[in-house]
């Protein structure tokens, strides 16, 4: 039996991406397809999205969606079936999907993503003659209003799933926006969408969706705590029977070292020596002229969540122990400056590229010896999964999805031949430095290092398992409705 579902999301690879959310949203339709789910993606009609749509068709016009004209445009792009919410006054802007060119959040984000949620609910209510999904799957705060509009609107037409990719982004807006959201007054309560005196879009989704998922089993536990629940731990605990941890997969065709056109030379686990060519390309590109030691890379948002301040503090020690560092990232201006200063202190030992560069991110995974991920929290994390697949050994904090996907190279794991990386518990310069020391020591033993690489490359982090898990969850929500039990 085939089901139709609608994924509501603010970014989707390869049309528009700021982080892992886009990778996941881009891969999900193909992941659930083998299990009988046709998943369409509803996404804001940002300029690159509108440009990418092949054979676009206007399938609905809103005369007044939160005070603006808007239409739903259906088309395909890069193999994805997409419905774009084309509302130029909301989405046709220079800058990023959430913020202007200077990095300041768009002040009307509540209206932009409120409109997205409302459009999703309207589609689920049947405004499109040609397409009516049986389930809505909302992602993060930007999708969070979709389940709320379903719950507080007329009837409760289809079930919904709310996936938390990062609970640290609550989508909070002042209470003054509530009337404009066109919800009934009873929605503005603690049991509804009220959050710290204002409106919380993620909270809205968590309260009203039929099921909640997050992107790793460990993070599903961690967000029950005050420390990592970011004020939403109460809802998570209250709804614990509806919370599922489903690990993200990776797109194994985009991320395939044996057929990756962004690499100087492709390779596989049987031809690891070929990685040297990629390493040379990194040495050239990042001016890592210091001889010999392992190259550690970073591909990351430069933020405190990612523990980048801790890495800045550990950088001198990393060079002192013979390591080299290639950093690709952007984010907090203070951290960008600090990394540039570290590079200036260690010419030949540290190279930094500030910016977002998809091809370079592939080369770094394909040529560096290790990738450093000292996150304070990490819902799932994708860069360690790419690292594992590329023989780029992760050195990572023991948190969230990192703890679920990396097998630490302790004595037992090494003896059993199952280790794939290095984990450390204290996200402090000392904790990171101790892990880096272990990595540098292991790098000195060729066979040990090779075994880490090969075991990582063999691990299966494709979407197979997770695609089935999502499809089963969808079906478990749709079937009771169909038989009239819900």
Q: State which residue, 135 or 360, has the beta carbon closest to ligand ADP.
A: 360
313 binds ligand ADP, rule: CB under 6 A: no
Tell me which residue of 213, 155, 151 sits closest to 187, measured CA to CA: 151
301 binds ligand ADP, rule: CB under 6 A: yes
Q: How far is the CB of 182 from ligand ADP (least distance, A)?
A: 31
Q: State which residue, 103 or 174, has the beta carbon closest to ligand ADP.
A: 103
468 binds ligand ADP, rule: CB under 6 A: no
DSSP H helical ranges for 209-350 = 217-222, 226-229, 233-238, 275-285, 308-320, 333-345
Q: State which residue, 194 or 378, has the beta carbon closest to ligand ADP.
A: 378
CA distances to 194, 265, 355, 416, 474 from 272, in Å: 54, 11, 29, 22, 41
CA distance 38 to 478: 14
CA distance 297 to 329: 10
Q: Which of residues 3-32 bind ligand ADP (CB under 6 A)?
A: 19-21, 23
Give me the sheet containing 194-195, strands edge to edge.
Answer: 172-173, 198-200, 194-195
Q: Judge whether 276 and 358 are in contact, CB under 8 Å.
A: no
Write each residue from 371 to 400 as x if it is in contact with ligand ADP (CB under 6 A), else as -, in one continuous string.
---------xxxx-----------------
Q: State which residue, 114 or 381, has the beta carbon closest to ligand ADP.
A: 381
H or E stretch covering 481:
helix 464-482
Q: How far is the CB of 66 from ligand ADP (least distance, A)?
A: 28
Task: Out of 214, 218, 278, 300, point to the residue binding ligand ADP (CB under 6 A).
Answer: 300
DSSP H helical ranges for 291-382 = 308-320, 333-345, 358-367
Q: State which residue, 20 or 266, has the beta carbon closest to ligand ADP.
A: 20
260 binds ligand ADP, rule: CB under 6 A: no
169 binds ligand ADP, rule: CB under 6 A: no
Number of residues binding to ligand ADP, judged by CB under 6 A: 18
Q: Where are the beta strands (DSSP E) in 87-227?
A: 135-139, 160-164, 172-173, 194-195, 198-200, 211-214
Q: How far is the CB of 401 from ligand ADP (least distance, A)?
A: 8
Q: Which of residues 337-356 bind ligand ADP (CB under 6 A)?
A: 356
Q: State which residue, 207 or 300, has the beta carbon closest to ligand ADP.
A: 300
Specify burial of residue 204 (Cβ count, 10 A radius: 0-12, 13-18, 19+).
buried
Q: How far is the CB of 214 from ligand ADP (least distance, A)?
A: 12
Tell how strand 172-173 and strand 324-331 pair up. unpaired
CA distance 143 to 341: 39
Q: How many CB atoms lie within 10 A of CB 345?
A: 12
Q: How far is the CB of 306 from ligand ADP (least distance, A)?
A: 7
Task: Out of 328, 432, 457, 473, point to the residue binding ligand ADP (CB under 6 A).
Answer: 328
Task: Out of 147, 200, 249, 329, point to the residue binding ligand ADP (CB under 6 A).
Answer: 329
Contact residues toward ligand ADP (CB under 6 A) are 19-21, 23, 299-301, 328-330, 356-358, 361, 380-383
């Amino acid at each position: 039996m085939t089901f139709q579902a609608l994924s509501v999301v603010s970014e989707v690879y390869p049309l528009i991406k700021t982080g892992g959310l886009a990778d996941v949203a881009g891969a999900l339709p193909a992941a659930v397809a083998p299990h009988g789910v046709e998943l369409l993606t509803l996404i804001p009609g940002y300029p690159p999205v509108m440009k990418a749509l092949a054979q676009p068709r206007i399938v609905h016009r809103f005369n007044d969606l939160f005070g603006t004209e808007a239409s739903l445009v259906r088309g395909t792009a890069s193999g994805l079936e997409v419905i774009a919410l084309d509302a130029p006054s909301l989405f046709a802007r220079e800058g990023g999907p959430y913020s202007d060119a200077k990095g300041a959040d768009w002040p009307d984000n509540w209206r932009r993503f409120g409109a997205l949620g409302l459009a999703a609910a309207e589609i689920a209510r049947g405004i499109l003659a040609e397409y009516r999904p049986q389930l809505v799957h909302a992602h993060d705060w930007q999708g969070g209003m979709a389940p709320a509009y379903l719950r507080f609107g007329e009837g409760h037409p289809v079930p919904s799933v709310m996936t938390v990719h990062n609970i640290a982004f609550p989508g909070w807006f002042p209470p003054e926006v509530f009337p404009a959201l066109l919800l009934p007054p009873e929605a503005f309560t603690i049991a509804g969408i009220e959050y710290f005196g204002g409106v919380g879009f993620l909270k809205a989704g968590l309260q009203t969706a039929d099921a909640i998922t997050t992107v790793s089993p460990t993070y599903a536990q961690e967000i029950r705590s005050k420390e990592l629940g970011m004020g939403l731990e109460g809802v998570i605990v209250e709804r614990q029977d509806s919370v599922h941890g489903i690990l993200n997969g990776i797109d194994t065709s985009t991320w395939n070292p044996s057929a990756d056109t962004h690499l100087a030379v492709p390779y596989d686990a049987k031809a690891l020596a070929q990685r040297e060519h990629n390493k040379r390309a990194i040495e050239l590109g990042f001016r890592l002229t210091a001889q010999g030691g392992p190259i550690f890379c970073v591909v990351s948002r430069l933020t405190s969540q990612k523990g980048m301040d801790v890495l800045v503090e550990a950088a001198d020690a990393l060079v002192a122990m013979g390591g080299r560092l290639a950093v690709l990232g952007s984010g907090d201006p203070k951290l960008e400056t600090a990394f540039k200063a570290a590079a200036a202190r260690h010419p030949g030992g540290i190279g930094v590229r500030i910016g977002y560069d998809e091809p370079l991110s592939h080369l770094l995974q394909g040529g560096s010896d290790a990738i450093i991920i000292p996150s304070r929290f990490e819902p799932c994390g994708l860069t360690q999964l790419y690292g594992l697949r590329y023989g780029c050994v992760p050195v990572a904090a023991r948190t969230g999805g990192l703890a679920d996907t990396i097998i630490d190279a302790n004595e037992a794991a090494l003896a059993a031949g199952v280790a794939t990386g290095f984990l450390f518990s204290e996200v402090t310069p000392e904790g990171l430095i101790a892990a880096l020391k272990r990595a540098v020591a292991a790098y000195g033993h060729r066979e040990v290092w090779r075994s880490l690489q090969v075991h990582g490359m063999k691990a299966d982090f494709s979407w197979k398992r997770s695609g089935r898990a999502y499809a089963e969850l969808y079906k478990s929500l749709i079937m009771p409705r169909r038989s009239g039990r819900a």
